[in-house]
Homo-oligomer: A and B are copies of this chain.
Amino acid sequence: MDTVFCNVTAVTMDEAMHILPGAFVGVRGGRIAYIGRKMPAEPVKEAIDGTGMVLMPGLINCHTHLAMTGLRGWSDDKPLQPWLEDCGRIEDKLDDRAVRCMTQLGLMELLRFGTTSFSDMYDHVDAIAQAVAECGIKANLARGTTMFLGDGFDWRTFPACVELRECVEKWHEYDDGRIRIEASVHGEYTSTYQLWEALADYAADENLGMHVHLSETRDEHEACLERNGLTPAQVLDCHRVWDTRAMAAHCVWLDEEDMGLLARRHVSAVHCPVSNLKLGSGIAPVVKLRAEGMNVALGTDSAASNNNLDLFEEIKTAALLAKVQSGDPSALPAAEVLKMATRGGALAQGRDDECGQIAIGMDADLILLDFTQPHLIPCHNVVSQLVYAASGHDVALTMVRGRILYRDGTFPTIDELAVLRELKDYVIPNFFEAKDEDKTGDKA
Contacts and interface: CB of A to CB of B under 8 A. Distances in A.
Nearest to A329: B280
A112 B377 CA distance: 13
B324 A375 contact: no
Contacts of A324: 276-277, 280-283
Contacts of A319: 278
A17 B328 contact: no
A91 to B, nearest CB: 15
B335 A444 contact: yes
Nearest to A409: B373
A258 B112 CA distance: 46
A197 B409 CA distance: 56
A73 B108 contact: no
A424 to B, nearest CB: 8
Nearest to A393: B393
A393 B218 CA distance: 35
A389 B329 contact: no
Contacts of A71: 380
A287 interface: no
A157 interface: no
Contacts of A80: 329
A37 B248 CA distance: 51
A165 interface: no
Range for the number of chain A residues in contact with chain B: 35 or more
A443 interface: yes
A109 interface: yes
A357 interface: no
Nearest to A379: B73
Contacts of A420: 377
A303 interface: yes
Nearest to A335: B444
Interface of A: 17, 70-74, 76-80, 83, 105, 108-109, 112-113, 274, 276-283, 303, 306-310, 317, 319-321, 323-324, 326-331, 333-336, 373-375, 377-381, 383-385, 388-389, 391, 393-394, 416, 420, 423, 428, 432, 435, 443-444
12 contacts: A72-B389, A73-B384, A105-B374, A276-B324, A280-B324, A280-B328, A282-B327, A307-B389, A333-B444, A336-B444, A378-B432, A380-B432
Given A74-B381, A78-B330, A112-B373, 17 more contacts: A73-B379, A73-B385, A73-B388, A76-B381, A77-B329, A79-B329, A79-B330, A109-B375, A274-B320, A277-B324, A280-B326, A282-B324, A307-B388, A309-B375, A317-B320, A374-B416, A377-B420
